[in-house]
Structure 1
Amino acid sequence: MTLAPEVIAQLADELADADRNHGVITRITARHPDATIEDSYAIQGLWRDRMIARGRHLVGRKIGLTSKAMQRATGIAEPDFGVMFDDTVFATGAEIPVDLFSNVRVEVELAFVLKQPLEGPGATLDDAIAAIDYAVPALEVLNSHIELEGRTIVDTIADNAAYGAMVLGDVRKRPDEIDLRWVPGVLTRNGEVEETGVAAGVLGHPATGVAWLANKLALHGARLETGEIILAGSFTRPMWVSRGDDVVCDYGPMGMITCRFV
Structure 2
Amino acid sequence: MLSSDDVAVIAAELAEADRTHGVIPRITARYPDATVEDAYAIQGVWRDRMIADGRTLVGRKIGLTSKAMQQATGITEPDYGVMFDDTVYQSGAEIPVDVFSNVRIEVELAFVLARPLEGPDCTLEDALAAIEYAVPALEVLNSHIELEGRTIVDTISDNAAYGAMVLGGVRKRPDEIDLAWVPGVLSRNGQIEETGVAAGVLGHPATGVAWLANKFAQHGARLEAGEIILAGSFTRPMWVHAGDTVRCDYGPMGVIECRFA
Settle same-fold status: TM greater than 0.5: yes
Cα deviation digits, residues 106-160 of structure 1 (max 9, x gap) = 0000000000000010100000000000000000000000000000000000000
**CA positional deviation for 1:98:** 0.3
SS of 1:185's equivalent? Answer: strand
Normalised to the residue count of structure 1, the TM-score between the two structures is: 0.99
Question: In the alignment, residue 225 of structure 2 is paired with which amino acid?
Answer: T
Following TM superposition, by how much is the alpha carbon of 1:221 offset from its aligned partner in structure 2, in angstroms?
1.8
Structure 2 match to 1:237: 236
Q: Report the counterpart of residue 139 of structure 1 in structure 2.
A: 138
Task: State the SS of the aligned residue for 1:10.
Answer: helix
Matched, 1:24 2:38: no
Cα drift, residue 252 of structure 1:
0.1
The 1-side partners of 2:70 and 2:218 are apart by 23
Task: Report percent identity of matched pairs.
Answer: 81
Whole-Å separation in 1 of the counterparts to 2:256 and 2:107: 10
Does residue 1:91 correspond to 2:93, yes or no? no
CA distance in 2, matches of 1:137, 1:159: 24
Secondary structure of residue in 2 paired with 1:8: helix
How far is 1:222 from its partner? 1.1
Separation in structure 2 between the aligned mates of residue 252 and residue 179 of structure 1, nearest angstrom: 12
Query: Structure 1 unaligned runs (5+)?
Result: none
Q: Counterpart of 2:71 in 1: which secondary structure?
A: helix
Q: Does 1:207 align with 2:221?
A: no
Kindly provide the amino acid, as one letter, of the partner of residue 134 in structure 1. Answer: Y
Give the Å deviation of 1:33. Answer: 0.2
Instruction: Determine the structure 2 residue equivalent to 1:171.
Output: 170
CA distance in 1, matches of 2:163, 2:218: 25
SS in 1 for 2:215: helix
Shift of 1:163: 0.1
2:72 aligned with 1:73: yes
Aligned to 1:162: 161
In the alignment, the residues of structure 2 paired with residue 51 and residue 86 of structure 1 have an alpha-carbon distance, to the nearest angstrom, of 11
Structure 2 stretches lacking a partner, 5+ long: none
Secondary structure in structure 1 of the residue aligned to 2:202:
coil
Deviation of 1:219 (Å):
1.2
Q: CA–CA distance in 1 between the matches of 2:126 and 2:77?
A: 22
Number of aligned residue pairs: 261
The one-letter code of the counterpart of 2:94 is E
In the TM superposition, 1:105-144 aligns within 5 A as 105-144=104-143
* Partner in structure 2 of residue 254 of structure 1: 253
Q: Distance in 2 between matches of 1:226 and 1:207?
A: 15
Distance 1:85 1:222 in 2: 18
SS at match of 2:212: helix
Displacement of 1:168: 0.1
Q: CA deviation at 1:211?
A: 0.2
When normalised by structure 2's length, the TM-score is: 1.00
Residue 220 of structure 1: CA displacement?
Answer: 1.7
Once the two structures are overlaid, the 10-residue window that deviates more, 169-178 or 215-224, is 215-224
Map of 2:196 onto structure 1: 197
Alpha-carbon distance in structure 1 between the residues aligned to 2:218 and 2:48: 18
Q: 1:94: how far off?
A: 0.2
